Amino acid sequence: MSALPQFYEGTPAREDNFMVAFKTSGTISIGNAVYLSADYTVSATSASTQTILGVAITAGVLAQPINVQCRGIMDAVIDASVTGGNYIVASNNTAGRVIASTGLSAGQLPTSYRFIALNSSTTQGTIIQIMSI
């Protein structure tokens, strides 16, 4: 049995986390990594160059408000193998999913990464926990 929680509509953020309500510019599912696409509007990430704002903890369609967890420990869906301790970026292949960054060498400090993986998985579509840094 996995220790990771599953996504449920309306699942509250943990007490030490911070969430913000945003409008959507399209369909967003629970667990999608999102970026700020316009003023107070989010879209599911679709390129590793987009800065992840947080992870959707409620779902919505165009112009509906959703809650986005922006700080703390959160659940995200991976698109490729991730190892605990990897810096996390948006996937170029599947909207709303995350991947491990390959842009840093050992000992380098992140300048544009906001999240780090807390656990590992090699299975695409698996939920992992990430933490804002």
Over residues 82-130, the pLDDT tens digits come to: 999 999 999 999 999 999 987 765 566 565 678 999 999 999 999 999 9
Secondary structure of residue 7 in the 3-state scheme: coil
Lookup result for tokens 């007490």: 15
Q: How far apart are CA 29 and CA 55, in angstroms?
A: 10
pLDDT of residue 14: 54
Return the percent helix, strand and coil in the chain, to nearest 5: 0, 40, 60
Per-residue tokens: 59: 């779902």
- Within 8 A by CB and 6+ apart from 105, the residues are none
Please give the pLDDT value at position 110.
60
Least confident of 1-5, 32-36, 93-97: 1-5
Claim: this prediction has a pTM higher than 0.85: no
